[in-house]
Amino acid sequence: MGTRASQVSRFNRGKRIAVLWAVAVVITLAAALAPPFAQPESYHRFADQRSLLGIPNYLDVTSNVAFLVVGVMGVLFVFREKGNERRRAFENSSERWGWGVAFAAVALGCFGSAFYHWAPDSPRLAWDRLPIAVAFMSIVAATAAERISPKAGMRLLAPLALLGAASVGYWRWTAAHGVENLNPYGAVQFGSALVILVMILLFPPRYTRSNDLLGAAMLYALAKVAEYFDHAIFNATGGIMSGHTLKHLLAATAVLWLLRMLKLRTPAPNGDCVAR
> Could you list the pLDDT tens digit for every one of the 276 residues in the chain?
445 444 435 558 888 999 999 999 999 999 999 999 999 999 999 999 999 999 999 999 999 999 999 999 999 999 886 655 555 788 888 899 999 999 999 999 999 999 999 999 999 999 999 999 999 999 999 999 999 999 999 999 999 999 999 999 999 999 999 899 999 999 999 999 999 999 999 999 889 998 899 999 999 999 999 999 999 999 999 999 999 999 999 999 999 999 999 999 988 876 544 433
Helices within 81-149 (DSSP H only): 96-118, 122-147
Backbone angles phi, psi at 267, to 5 degrees: -60, 135
User: What is the set of domains in the chain, with CATH numbers?
Assistant: 2-264 (1.20.1070)
**CA 71 – CA 78 distance, rounded (Å):** 11
**Which string of DSSP letters, residue by residue, matches 181-201?**
--HHHHIIIIIHHHHHHHHHH
Q: Please, are residues 247 and 226 in contact by the beta-carbon 8 Å criterion?
A: yes
Q: What is the pTM of this model?
A: 0.89
